[in-house]
Amino acid sequence: MTPKRLYRAAAATLLACATLFPAPTLLAGNRFDTEEITVDPGPPRWRAPQQARTLVATMGTSTPSPNPYRLGAAGALIVDNQAYLIDAGEGALRAIAKTATAHDKALVDVFAPPKLTHLFLTHLHSDHTVGLPSLILNPWIFGRSAPLEVYGPVGTQRLVDGILAAYQPDIRERIDGPEGANDTGWRVNVHEFESGGVVFQDERLKVEAFAHEHGTLPAYGYRFTSADRVVVWAGDGKAGPAFQEAAKDAGLLVTEIGSEATVRNSPWGGMSAEERERVVWSYHLKPSNLARLASAAKVKTLVLIHESNYSAPYDPLAILEEFRRLYSGEVYSSRDADIY
């Protein structure tokens, strides 16, 4: 067969396969033109209680979608002007910079690079950790001399070791070269845990981890207790007894959420609608389950992040409206750099 005939035969075969096995209508995961990533949700809001000593920042609120208006998973608890970082998704350091310079720069000193010394990872999926090299190295470049303290599930040490091994040429040049950087601020102290309970405590804050079911990867949420507030940052995962207990009487619950109304439109999880529905709910939280959990736990305020919104045509408030039909309490759909 000549090359031209071979090419035509291959093209005909591909066309036949495309006809027999068409892609799902909304399966656009290999494209950067999904409607969700074209919508600017608007500027950040300051919604913290007056005189609060403890603030919560939803710094990066995106899913893994490459959204130019929402950065990857990143948050912070701020107690008496000390920031405790949560997760390190894509662009985490830029999310910190955006939060620091929003709100008339009210938090610019809180997020000064030398003060970024504590990080809590909920789990080790790439969309929650791909920004970790930047949080290790860039604050050091800009003056941090203390090691970064990283708390996370088993596997965190291996992840950090790999990052530091990969960047050793950069680290050594900055220390030994003209820059003359300090030899301490790039270092990382990893604190792994394999069960729930108190994982950190200082004079400002107690942090308790609780296990989440999120696929097969070890995953945790955190309950933060300060002098004036109880905040639960749930991370990714389904409702369960440990989550229910941790959320009890929380003043603020920050959690991801999916959409039961539009889950079959998901751009990931399988070729059939049934398969996508099964896979998505093996990882994420249904609105109906969240409504029951929050009501039973008597949560005061809910903040939604990491929203798996598959509405078509895209409605940025679709999940919030779906959830409000199930839940009568105070709930907000977050934006990057919001303060609660």
Domain range list for the chain: 29-339
Q: In whole angstroms, what is the distance from residue 336 CA to residue 96 CA?
A: 10
Q: In whole angstroms, what is the distance from residue 321 CA to residue 18 CA?
A: 37
DSSP 310: -
Give yes or no for a contact between 85 and 135, defined as CB atoms under 8 angstroms apart: yes
What element of type H or E holds 97?
Answer: helix 92-101
Q: Tell me, which fold does domain 29-339 have in CATH?
A: Metallo-beta-lactamase; Chain A (3.60.15)
Each residue's pLDDT tens digit in the chain (340 positions)?
443 443 344 333 333 333 222 333 334 445 555 688 889 999 999 999 999 999 999 999 999 989 999 999 999 999 999 999 999 999 999 999 999 999 999 999 999 999 999 999 999 999 999 999 999 999 999 999 999 999 999 999 999 999 999 999 999 999 999 999 999 999 999 999 999 999 999 999 999 999 988 888 999 999 999 999 999 999 999 899 999 999 999 999 999 998 887 777 778 777 887 878 778 777 888 999 999 999 999 999 999 999 988 888 889 999 999 999 999 999 999 999 999 9
Copy the structure tokens of residue 54.
């403890």
Residue 177's CB is within 10 A of a number of other CB atoms, namely 9
pLDDT given at position 30: 52
Q: In whole angstroms, what is the distance from residue 332 CA to residue 254 CA?
A: 10
Copy the structure tokens of residue 255.
């959690």
pLDDT given at position 265: 78
pLDDT given at position 134: 99
Residue 172's CB is within 10 A of a number of other CB atoms, namely 11
What element of type H or E holds 332?
Answer: strand 330-333
pTM: 0.89
Give yes or no for a contact between 139 and 113, defined as CB atoms under 8 angstroms apart: yes
Please list, in sequence order, all residues whose beta carbon lies within 8 angstroms of the beta carbon of residue 273, skipping any fewer than 6 positions away.
Answer: 24, 264
User: 118 to each of 36, 79, 115, how far by Cα in Å?
Assistant: 32, 12, 9
